[in-house]
Structure 1
Amino acid sequence: MAVSVALRAVAHYLPQRTVKVAELPELAELPATEAETCLGLGIDEIRADDLSATELAAGAASRALAEAGLSPDELDALIVIDARSPETLMSSEATRLQARLGARRAVTFSVGGLGCASISPALLAARGLLAADDSVDNVLIAHGSKPATPRRYRHPVTVSGDGGQAVLVSRHGPLRLLDVVQRTNGAYWDLFAVDYRDRPSAEWREECADVHGYSFKLAIETRNQLRELHRTLLDRNGMRPADVGCHLSQNLSLGSLRFTEETLGVELSGVCADNLRRYGHLGPSDVLLNLMSAIESGDLAEGQRGLLYNVSPVAAWSLLLVEHGDGGGTSHYL
């Protein structure tokens, strides 16, 4: 039986310290063409700190709980989106966050594996818990976004900043989660990788195995996948393109924002480019950060529906359909 699913609270924890992209130390080591690409992404600065991914996630989680007026003991479940680089092997970052928050009774586990699209499986898991168990009311999703290597620039994609995000998923709340669609293609599983074994962390480098394939072959598949998922989501929710009040994307580069607009024939909210400029790429946190900014700016008014687009070079594609307020729409279940 379908149940109502809502985002009761969405909170972020962004470090105070900023770093200008033009002052990144790795720029001096890059070939001139790569440095030029980095400076042309549309990112002016990022947030960067010594806080761990768990500490960033905990900061956001505390804010989400405070916003909802909940104590950690009232959480029924805690879903942690994996960090790109765990601090230690064979330990549990998920239960570490559980202990830090004091969420003793929460069913706790982690999800991930899809890079910046990992917010979608986390939401699917939260929605599944609510649907499967009537006693579950509050599921917290948390993530701390930090780059896997000392370098912030990921050629030729983006510049990664630091930030924490927490989303309280419940049966009622100011934002309704109406639908999630997702697709993956394992042919690109190692397009981007960090060879870390037997290397000091200071020497870790993320490398793209095929820059031309990323820029052209994967771009063509991304265009086709986004168009098909867009049609599927609208059709199964009985919607037309004009029914979408606000379009939001992840923050990789100005070029990626234009690509999404041209692929789908839509206009993204201006908050995407603003947050890209101010924060860079925050992995799975991007789209919900932009969603909250769109609500604050009035781009997504109460009663309107918003579409959130996510693409990861692993490769994964996902779309989220949300509604600001309760317009009576029903949630779609696979």
Structure 2
Amino acid sequence: MTMRAVVKGVGHYLPERVVPNSEFEASIETSDEWIRARSGIERRHFAAEGQTTSDLAARAAEAALAQAGMSADDIDAIIVATSTADFTFPSAATMVQARLGMTKGYAFDVQAVCAGFVFALANANALIVSGQARRVLVIGAETFSRLMDWTDRTTCVLFGDGAGALILEGQEGTGDVGDRGILSTDLNSDGRHRELLYVDGGVSTGVTGHLRMQGKEVFRHAVEKLAETAHCALDKAGLSGADVDWIVPHQANIRIIEATAKRMQVPMERVVVTVQDHGNTSAASIPLALSIGVERGQIKPGDLLVAEAIGGGLAWGAVVLRW
């Protein structure tokens, strides 16, 4: 028998404030048409003053626990994927742990920017397969609105805030591709490309800093590396693009999503797309899309999914998962 990390619940949370593209027209040289044409984004959510990443993460976690019919006492570990933790330390994960009333187990953050949730899923899978945890709560949560340079129209219109969560539970499978749960993972990074996407602040500068991006170069790397990592993960599982029911991509830009699907020879009808409503929520975008996909009735038990993402670092990866 083979141990598999199987999804038992999923949930999400979005801040109340919805920001349409038109709201940017008064402060920067842009328009709803310009933003839609280049990114596919129509609106995004921004956290309220005083609302933190751990707040969003805890709300998404509560939704996932409710769907799974579980309480915090049923969870062995919490992993939060984020680049916008409330503080340098402690981790956002331990703050979520306290908020949920979970007094056992352990919690930690994973930082791989927009690829963070894929890295967190891979870590959660390893904990379960190795027997170090039976149930892991995996969360992607971000407040990227706090990193924006509001004078830079090429970046500030792209990002939003939100959180998504899912619960993985160890269950015995047969070891073949028909098993539910995570079937394979593929993780990569290349630190030589740091200047393409980064924040110009941190402990070394004494200020939070702002997000900086070379958009054209990031686009080029994204299309190439996302299709490559998805195919690699499928190969590891003994599967191909023809077997995929849904691609659940990082929701950064509709043109990247379309180009990646084309390279994978998967029609857009089999791609979960939420970028128009949420913008780029970094590590939160895949769990948000998973939760919305279930809510819409797109993702059903037994479906084969490929989740793939790329972010600053550069870091990128994919997970093959049977729902």
TM-score (norm 1): 0.81
Aligned to 1:327: none
Q: What letter is aligned with 1:44?
A: E
Q: Is the 8 A contact 2:12 2:287 kept in 1?
A: no
Task: Indicate the residue corresponding to 1:132 in structure 2.
Answer: 130
Distance 1:303 1:23, change over 3 A: same
Question: How far apart are 1:151 and its partner, in Å?
Answer: 4.8
Query: Aligned runs of 1:279-298 on 2, under 5 Å?
Result: 279-298=278-297
Does the C-alpha gap of structure 1 residues 228 and 271 become closer, same or farther in structure 2, counting only changes over 3 Å?
closer
CA contact (8 A) 1:75 1:140 kept: yes
Distance 1:102 1:300 in 2: 31
Does 1:215 pair with 2:209? no
Q: Which deviates more from structure 2 when the two are superposed, residues 163-172 or residues 288-297?
A: 288-297
Overall identity of the aligned pairs, in %: 25
* Structure-2 separation of matches of 1:133 and 1:11: 25
- TM-fit CA distance, 1:155: 2.5
Q: How far 1:263 moved relative to its partner? A: 2.7
Partner in structure 2 of residue 165 of structure 1: 164
Asked whether the equivalents of residues 305 and 323 of structure 1 are also in contact (C-alpha less than 8 Å), the reply is: yes
1-structure distance, mates of 2:16, 2:270: 23
Stretches of structure 1 that go unaligned for 5 or more consecutive residues are 325-334
1:92-115 per-position Cα deviation (integer Å, ceiling 9, x unaligned): 333222111111102122211x21
- For the 8 Å contact 1:7–1:172, the answer to whether it is kept is no
Contact 2:182 2:321 in 1 (8 A): yes
- Which residue of the partner structure matches residue 55 of structure 2? 55
Contact 2:163 2:284 in 1 (8 A): yes
CA distance in 1, matches of 2:161, 2:303: 30
Counterpart-to-counterpart distance in 2, 1:151 and 1:35: 19
Cα 1:73–1:52 change in 2 (3 A) is same
1:187-266 map, 5 Å: 187-196=192-201, 197-199=205-207, 204-208=209-213, 211=214, 214-216=215-217, 218-266=218-266
Per-residue CA distance 1:120-176 (angstroms, 9 max, x = gap): 221122112212227x32111223211142557772596222212221111249962
Q: Which amino acid aligns with 1:19?
A: V
Q: Secondary structure at the match of 2:235?
A: helix
TM-aligned CA deviation for residue 53 of structure 1 = 0.4
- Taking structure 1 as reference, are residues 143 and 254 closer, same or farther at Cα in structure 2, changes over 3 Å only? closer
The 2-side partners of 1:259 and 1:229 are apart by: 14
Partner of 2:176: none
Question: What residue is the counterpart of 1:120 in the other structure?
Answer: 118
Q: 1:206 to 1:95 in 2, by over 3 A?
A: same
User: Within the alignment, does 1:143 sit opposite 2:140 as a pair?
Assistant: yes
Gap change, CA 1:35 and 1:249, over 3 Å in 2:
same
Tell me if 1:98 matches 2:97.
Answer: yes
TM-score (structure 2 length as normaliser): 0.83
Q: Deviations over 1:261-281 (max 9, x none)?
A: 2332322347744x2111112
Question: 2-side partners of 1:48 and 1:160: how far apart?
Answer: 9
Cα root mean square deviation, aligned? 2.9
Closer, same or farther: CA 167–117 of 1 in aligned 2, 3 Å: same
Quote the offset at 1:11 in angstroms.
Answer: 0.7
* Cα distance in 1 for residues equivalent to 2:90 and 2:4: 35
Aligned to 1:329: none
SS of the equivalent of 2:61 reads helix
Q: Which letter does structure 1 place at the counterpart of 2:182? A: L
Cα 1:77–1:91 shift into 2, 3 Å: closer
Q: Check whether the contact 1:79–1:94 (CA below 8 A) recurs between aligned residues.
A: yes
One-letter amino acid of the counterpart of residue 215, structure 1: K
Q: Are 2:77 and 2:136, in contact at CA under 8 Å, matched by a contact in 1?
A: yes
SS in 1 for 2:292: helix
Contact 2:29 2:153 in 1 (8 A): no
Residue 4 of structure 2: aligned partner: 4
Q: CA deviation at 1:221?
A: 4.0
Instruction: Determine helix, strand or coil for the equivalent of 1:43.
Output: coil
Unaligned stretches of 5+ residues in structure 2: 173-178
